[in-house]
Amino acid sequence: MGKWIDSSGTEYKTLKEMCEAHGISVLTVQNRRRNGWTLTEAVEHGLCSGGRKDKVKDHLGNEYSSVASMCKAYGIGRSTFENRIKRGHWTLEKALTTPLLSKLVCNGREYRSRRDMCVKMNISLDTVNQRLKRGMSIEDAVSVPIKKVSKECVDHTGGTFKSLREMAKFYKISCNTIIDRLNKGWDMEKTLTTLPKEISCECTGLNGEAFVSVRKMCEHYGIKRSKFENRTRYGWNTKNALRIPCEFSLRKIPVDYRSMSISYVTCSSNGEPFFKVKCNVCGEEDVLSYDEINEHADKCEGR
């Protein structure tokens, strides 16, 4: 018996027993043996610094003062090397000599790109990107289960949803937006009820009401947002752009009324008529209701 003997002369019944005593995996030893290491070297050389021997040998038998200097000699990152050996179970030779295609190494395997890795691991690229942005390591980013998506979610009103996806769908925003906002420290209500693209937009309605967005304001006044924006672009003031119904169209009726020249009138089916007018006194042009025309004329005729 006593087939396995280490440098101190201690005998072991099996290789496994000897490896265990030296705190090294059988696989690593077998890899090293395949690469021409002696049994003693294979079992007793530490993998990283802090191992039993300071000196390490590469697959060709060249000696280095440390793993780090060996890696440097092969132009390979030490963490890449260690990942390859420990997690990918690569041989020493392969771990040292396989060039990096890109910097992306995960669990000892290399990928052309983050996308390539996600496809091969069957995980969403968005999820991985988000996690990396939050400072997770690449290994964690691909291996931590997607808790948030499958866990029951509770909104600000106490309503429960089967998943984040369900809640996001209900509030018509994306899961990523929700996660992003919560990470930014938003509270749940603001997170769920603020629609995208209206975060910094505040609008004032006809009676001074505040709206979080143009869209909300237009909804309130029953006017299409596109219509409102078109009108504004053509120089309408907010008041008219909001209050004059969408089906509004102008009919030419050139007529003078008091101090005002009226050029067009609406033929809206609902609501009061509006007139496009120009004041002959102050030169102001506007779209006004009948009452407003009189008001304006009162003001200007008295001058």
Give min distance, CB of 194 to Zn ion, in A. 42
Give least dist CB 193 to Zn ion, A. Answer: 43
Which residue's CB is nearer to Zn ion, number 121 or number 281?
A: 281
289 DSSP β-pair partners: 274
Residue 129 token pair: 């990107």
State the Cα torsion 166-169-173-177 to the nearest 10°. 20
- Quick check: 182 and 172 in contact, CB under 8 A? no
∠ CA 8-12-13, nearest 5°, is 165
According to the binding rule CB under 5 A, does residue 300 interact with Zn ion?
A: yes
| Token representation of residue 190 | 């603001």
Beta carbon nearer to Zn ion, 178 or 293: 293
Q: How far is the CB of 280 from Zn ion (least distance, A)?
A: 8
Among candidates 42, 62, 59, which has minimal Cα distance to 51? 42
User: Following DSSP, what letter does each residue of 30-74 receive, concatenated?
Assistant: HHHHHTT--HHHHHHS-SSTTSS-S-EE-TT--EESSHHHHHHHH
For the bound state, the minimum distance from the C-beta of residue 261 to Zn ion, rounded and expressed in Å, comes to: 11
> Which of 248, 275 has the CB closer to Zn ion?
275
Binding status of residue 27 toward Zn ion by CB under 5 A:
no
Count of residues touching Zn ion (by CB under 5 A): 4
Closest CB to Zn ion among residues 138, 279: 279
Residues 253-282 that bind Zn ion (CB under 5 A): 279, 281-282
Q: Is 212 in the site for Zn ion (CB under 5 A)?
A: no
Q: How far is CA 108 from CA 28, 80, 98, 103, 113, in A?
A: 14, 7, 12, 12, 14
Q: Which is nearer to Zn ion, 100 or 282 (CB)?
A: 282
Residues 216-255 that bind Zn ion (CB under 5 A): none
Residues forming the site for Zn ion (CB under 5 A) = 279, 281-282, 300
